[in-house]
Amino acid sequence: MNKTALITGITGQDGSYLAELLLEKGYMVHGVKRRASSFNTARIDHLYMDQHENHVNFKLHYGDLTDSTNIIRIIQEVQPDEIYNLGAMSHVKVSFDSPEYVANVDGMGTLRILEAVRILGLTEKTRIYQASTSELYGGLEENKNEKGFYDENSPFYPRSPYGVAKIYGFWITKNYREAYNMYACNGILFNHESPRRGETFVTRKITMATAAIALGKQECLYLGNMNALRDWGHAKDYVEAMWRILQQDVAEDYVIATGVTTSVRDFVELSFKEVGLNIRWEGEGVDEVGVLVEVDEDKYKEAVKFNEPSNLSTFQPSNLIGKQLIKVDPAYYRPTEVDLLLGDPTKSKTKLGWKPQYDLAGLVSEMVASDVEIVKKNFNAQWEHIVG
Ligand code: NAP
Ligand code: F7E
């Protein structure tokens, strides 16, 4: 018989890719979505089927991780074989503004899922995946392993209310596994991105700005700490790892990462290069700027396909040479920063047989191409730079 999965956070980046993957594998997929005053299902609308049709294999339930009554009711109704707890307030900077809410959703929300499964007598049936994070490590130099990476045995030192809430989620998942013999696992996932990434995370903010600047719709990209180093993978690869984590004989925790780290500054360069715009850095700290020094016209034409449709714009990128396209705005600095993240995927590669399909170049290329299309589609709309 086909398996049934329940995904919290199904409307988010990972939830949407995971739902696609599980549907491809023949699962009946249930998702928890929050009631919102405007539509919040853009990432999964293509999966939604008319509930009046026969053989519906995708169903959404209104719910919220702060409400244990609805969590219990939904799990009782769905009787899932697998729960993927991806729901969270996932923005690190925003977590400093709403720390109590984040503790409630990202920390206590995990407990509500585990406890619901226990109360309903589903501990033998239901396997649980908890969306843990590399933010648990906090980027402390002294906590890396002998190879210079963070792995499953590295100590934690979270540096934000988000990281602190997620550390509760990590330990309560492990505790329920040990106390009640539940199949409950943490995936300690390093940053993963995609064209569906929220627009206020740094990679998407950069690729959106690259597209908007290349099409003459934005003048400048403002960023915070460009020295930060992140281990960036593709969300599509990472949801495959989530699924594999729940298919093992024994429940364990796994690091999911690429093993390569890149600075925000280098990501900016790669992104602008995708549209033929070459950046040179000048100045330091808050005075650092990225100046356009050269336009690769062939690359630009290929990436932006400026003349299709031909009436799109008369904008010439070469007019921007010498202009400061990237500036620092300290408003984006965090009260405490995670300077460096670099994960060791040895365990997930050997035990799960997990093999990522994307490298950073492929990720950047896909994200920029997608954002160029979005900017072109909305060409006549007012374009503001993204704040976040
Ligand atoms: P995302 O795009 O921000 O999606 C978060 C999801 O959680 C959305 O569906 C959101 O609903 C939902 N949500 C927020 N508050 C909720 C609440 N109170 N009750 C129920 N659902 C709620 O995040 P993501 O990038 O897909 O990440 C998925 C999970 O992995 C998160 O738990 C995140 O913390 C964790 N994680 C992410 C990364 C990464 O690099 N992406 C790395 C490690 C761990 P709305 O659409 O209504 O806002
Ligand atoms: O920041 C720096 C910023 O917001 C990355 C979440 O998915 O991954 C994500 O958390 C870095 C930080 O992601 C801007 O200071 C510079 O050092 O894209 P981000 P994050 O904080 O790493 C982890 C693993 C999660 O679990 C989280 O849920 O980039 N940075 N300038 C900036 N960041 C933002 N957002 N905006 C800037 O303008």
The verdict on 119 and 220 lying in the same domain is no
The verdict on 313 and 280 lying in the same domain is yes
Average pLDDT over residues 270-294: 98
pTM over 0.95: yes
Give the CA diameter of the chain: 67
The verdict on 333 and 184 lying in the same domain is no
The verdict on 174 and 210 lying in the same domain is no
User: What pLDDT is attached to residue 305?
Assistant: 77
User: What pLDDT is attached to residue 383?
Assistant: 73
> Please, is 382 exposed, middle or buried when counting C-beta atoms within 10 Å of its C-beta (0-12, 13-18, 19+)?
exposed
Q: Please state the domain count of the chain.
A: 2
Rounded CA separation 373/167 (Å): 38
What residues flank ligand 2, with Cβ below 6 Å? 90, 92-93, 133-135, 190-191, 200-202, 205, 223-225, 228, 230, 264, 332, 334, 337-338, 388
Rounded CA separation 351/214 (Å): 44
223-268 pLDDT, tens digit per residue, is 999 999 999 999 999 999 999 999 999 999 999 999 999 999 999 9
Q: Which two tokens stand for residue 168?
A: 């509760």
Whether residue 309 has a cis bond before it, omega within 30° of 0: yes
H/E element holding 37?
Answer: none
Give the CATH number of the domain where residue 105 resides.
Answer: 3.40.50.720
Confidence band for 313, pLDDT divided at 50, 70 and 90:
low
| 61 in Cβ contact with 73 (< 8 Å) | no
Q: Which two tokens stand for residue 283?
A: 């100045």
The verdict on 326 and 272 lying in the same domain is yes
To test the pocket of ligand 1, the residue of 8, 14, 261, 338 to mutate (highest count of ligand atoms within 8 Å of its CB) is: 14
Report how far apart, in Å, the C-alpha atoms of 294 and of each of 107, 200, 307 are. 48, 28, 21
Measured in degrees and rounded to the nearest 5, phi and psi for residue 365 equal -60, -45
Q: With CA atoms as reference, report the closest residue to 66 among 117, 95, 108, 11.
A: 108
Is 345 contained in some domain? no
Is 86 contained in some domain? yes
Q: With CA atoms as reference, report the closest residue to 42 among 375, 374, 384.
A: 374
Is 331 contained in some domain? yes
Identify the active-site residue in 8, 11, 126, 133: 133
Rounded CA separation 289/293 (Å): 12
Contacts of 272 (CB under 8 A, 6+ apart): 210, 213, 278, 279, 290, 292, 325
* SS3 call for 165: helix
94-151 pLDDT, tens digit per residue, is 999 999 999 999 999 999 999 999 999 999 999 999 999 999 999 999 999 999 999 9
